[in-house]
A and B are shown apart, each in its own frame.
Chain A
C-alpha cells in the first residue's frame, strides 16, 4: 500500500527525514514510534501529499506520490495533530462539506456524514458548533471526517495526544474496530501503549532515521531482553547506586530518578544485592526498546 525508499525531507539545511525506507502492507496498521522531532509528522505530511518530497521515492496505492499529490489525496484520509475543524459551520456540515471536496454528491455526503457520526457516537451533536465539543469529541470528529470519503488509507498523526485517559481509550476502541474493517492505517505516536495496542508493525524513529522495525513483540524480544529492572535509589543514595550499577556489567540508563536496567535471566540475584535502592522487575515494553536503541527515554526532550 505504501512504499518509501530513501525518503528525505529537508527544511533549508535542517534534515527532518534522513533517507528512510519502509513498506506498509494492505490492511495493516503501521506505526511510527518516536519522540517529538523524530521526523514522524514530516513523513506523514509527505504521505498526505501536503509536503513536497525533497528526494527519494514514495509510492502510495500504486501512485507516485512525488508527482501526483492530488491523486493521493483522493484515496487517503488525513487526521492531523491540530484538528482543523471549522467553527463557523455545524458538526454535521464539517462532514458533508468535506465529503463534497472528495466528489460525493450532496445526498451521498449527507448519508456518509450520518454513518460516521453514528460510528463515532456523535449523532446527537450533529447540529452543534464544533466549539461546544469536548477535546475527546473534537478528536473523534476529526477522525470521523477522515473516514467520510471511505479512504483506502488513513494517516493519523498522534491521534490521542492531549486527550485524557478515558477519551484516549475510547479513541483506541474505535480505531481497533476500524482496523478490523480492512482499512490500511499509518499512524505516528509517542505513546508506547498506543503503539503496542493498535499497531501490527511499527518502526522506531529518532532524529529523522528509522532505528528498528518489526512487530511490537519482535522488537521487544530482540531489543529489550527478557526482563527489565527498575532501580529506585533512596534519598541521597543516587551516586552510590550509580557506582554499584557501574560495577555490574549490565546495560542501564537513568531516566528521571530511576535507573532502568536491561536484565537477563541471571540478573535478579545480582541486582537485589544493590544497597540503598528499591529494585523491582517488570516485563519489557517498547519504551525499553527505544531506550536500548537511543540511550534515551521516549519522553526526554
Chain B
C-alpha cells in the first residue's frame, strides 16, 4: 500500500508520549469504574465456580498428579492453570471484542487519533488495560485459591506478575485479531479457535506428558503453556532454572504482539 504512511514517520523513538498511553488507559479505567460491580462479579465468579468444582468434585475422583518433585493433589495442580488461564481470557476479551467495539461499532479510535495520540500509544494503552484486567482477575482468583488451601508456597505472589505478562501477551494478540477482523462473527473465532484450545491444552488441566508424544512439541509451543508452567512452579514452590526459558518466551511474546497490532491498525485506520 502507501509506503509514506505519515503516521509511521512520527512514531519513531523520538515521538512517543506516555500521556497518550495513560490517556487511553484512563478512558478504560473511567468506563470500568462506571460499572465495576457488574464487571467484578463477572471477573471473579466464573473461575471461582471452576475452582470449587475441581476442589470439591473432580479433584476427589482424580488421584495425585506427578510433577517434578513428587505428587500433588489435582486441585493444587489445576489452580494456577485456572488463575493464568483466566488472565488470558480477560485480556483476550478486552482487546479483541472490546477493542473491536471501540474501533468499528462506536468509532472511538477515530476520535482518539484525531487528538494528539499516536497509533502506537493507542495500541499500548489498549494492551495495558487488557493487562490490568488480567491482573485484577489473577489477584481475585489467586486469593480465592489461597483461601481454599490450593496454594502451597509464598512464591505464589509472583503469579501476579505472570498474570500481568500473560495479559500483555494476549492483549496484543487480541488487538491483532480486532485489527484484522472484518466482522464480529469472525472475531468470535478467536475465542473458539484460540482461547478454548489454549485453555485446555496448555498443561492447564493435565500434564503435557500425558499427551501423545507427537503432540507434546505442539503443546510446548503454545503461548499459554509457559505462564501456566511458571505459575504452577511458583504455587508449589518447585522453582528451577528451566523456568527461565518459559519466562523468556512470555516476555518476548508480550513484546512482539502489540507492535504488530499497531501496524495492522495503522493500515486499517490511517488511510
Query: Which residues of A are at the interface with B, using a C-beta cutoff of 8 A?
Result: 11, 48-54, 65-71, 73-74, 78, 80, 82-90, 93, 97-98, 100-103, 145, 149
Cα separation A89 to B6 with both chains bound (whole Å): 31
Whether the pair B108, A86 counts as a contact (CB closer than 8 A) is yes
Whether the pair A73, B107 counts as a contact (CB closer than 8 A) is no
Whether the pair A52, B106 counts as a contact (CB closer than 8 A) is no
With contacts defined as CB atoms under 8 Å apart, how many contacts are there between chain A and chain B in the complex? 94
Chain B nearest Cβ from A53, distance in angstroms: 7
* Across-interface contacts of B19 in A (CB, < 8 A): 100-101, 103
Whether the pair A82, B107 counts as a contact (CB closer than 8 A) is yes
Q: A51-B270, A69-B7, A101-B19 are in contact. List 19 more A-B contacts (CB 8 A).
A: A49-B6, A50-B114, A52-B6, A53-B4, A54-B2, A65-B6, A66-B4, A70-B10, A80-B111, A82-B107, A82-B110, A84-B110, A86-B108, A89-B27, A89-B34, A98-B111, A98-B115, A102-B116, A145-B111
Whether the pair A67, B6 counts as a contact (CB closer than 8 A) is yes
Taking a contact as CB atoms closer than 8 A, the residue among A73, A90, A100 that contacts B26 in the complex is A100
* Across-interface contacts of B51 in A (CB, < 8 A): none
Chain A nearest Cβ from B55, distance in angstroms: 36
The reply on B9 being an interface residue by CB < 8 A is yes
The reply on B151 being an interface residue by CB < 8 A is no
Whether the pair B26, A84 counts as a contact (CB closer than 8 A) is no
The reply on B259 being an interface residue by CB < 8 A is no
The reply on B234 being an interface residue by CB < 8 A is no
Cα separation A38 to B81 with both chains bound (whole Å): 57
Whether the pair B2, A80 counts as a contact (CB closer than 8 A) is no
Whether the pair A66, B116 counts as a contact (CB closer than 8 A) is no
Counting chain A CB atoms within 10 Å of each CB, the highest count among B20, B31, B118 belongs to B31
* Across-interface contacts of A93 in B (CB, < 8 A): 30
- Considering the complex, which residues of chain B in the window 64-85 have a beta carbon less than 8 Å from any beta carbon of chain A? none
* Across-interface contacts of A68 in B (CB, < 8 A): 10
* Across-interface contacts of A69 in B (CB, < 8 A): 6-7, 10
Cα separation A70 to B15 with both chains bound (whole Å): 9
A87-B106, A97-B23 are known contacts. Are A66 and B115 too (CB-CB below 8 A)? Answer: no
Whether the pair A90, B106 counts as a contact (CB closer than 8 A) is no
Cα separation A88 to B108 with both chains bound (whole Å): 10
Cα separation A70 to B120 with both chains bound (whole Å): 12
The reply on B112 being an interface residue by CB < 8 A is yes
Counting chain B CB atoms within 10 Å of each CB, the highest count among A52, A83, A101 belongs to A101
Whether the pair A101, B23 counts as a contact (CB closer than 8 A) is yes
The reply on B253 being an interface residue by CB < 8 A is no
A50-B113, A73-B115, A101-B117 are known contacts. Are A84 and B7 too (CB-CB below 8 A)? Answer: no
* Across-interface contacts of B15 in A (CB, < 8 A): 70
Chain B nearest Cβ from A56, distance in angstroms: 12
Whether the pair B115, A89 counts as a contact (CB closer than 8 A) is no
* Proximity bits, B96-110, A CB within 8 Å = 1, else 0: 000000000011101
Taking a contact as CB atoms closer than 8 A, the residue among B26, B27, B270 that contacts A52 in the complex is B270
Chain B nearest Cβ from A39, distance in angstroms: 14
The reply on B5 being an interface residue by CB < 8 A is yes
Taking a contact as CB atoms closer than 8 A, the residue among B9, B22, B26 that contacts A67 in the complex is B9
Counting chain A CB atoms within 10 Å of each CB, the highest count among B26, B115, B117 belongs to B115
* Across-interface contacts of B106 in A (CB, < 8 A): 84-87
Counting chain A CB atoms within 10 Å of each CB, the highest count among B6, B30, B31, B113 belongs to B6
Taking a contact as CB atoms closer than 8 A, the residue among B23, B27, B30, B116 that contacts A73 in the complex is B116
A11-B271, A84-B108, A93-B30 are known contacts. Are A101 and B6 too (CB-CB below 8 A)? Answer: no
Chain B nearest Cβ from A285, distance in angstroms: 32
* Across-interface contacts of B23 in A (CB, < 8 A): 97, 100-101
* Across-interface contacts of B4 in A (CB, < 8 A): 52-54, 66
Whether the pair B10, A89 counts as a contact (CB closer than 8 A) is no
Taking a contact as CB atoms closer than 8 A, the residue among A67, A97, A102 that contacts B30 in the complex is A97
Which 4 pairs from chain A and chain B are nearest by CB? A84-B111, A101-B115, A88-B31, A78-B114
Chain A residue, CB-CB nearest to B9 = A67
* Across-interface contacts of B20 in A (CB, < 8 A): 101
Cα separation A62 to B216 with both chains bound (whole Å): 61
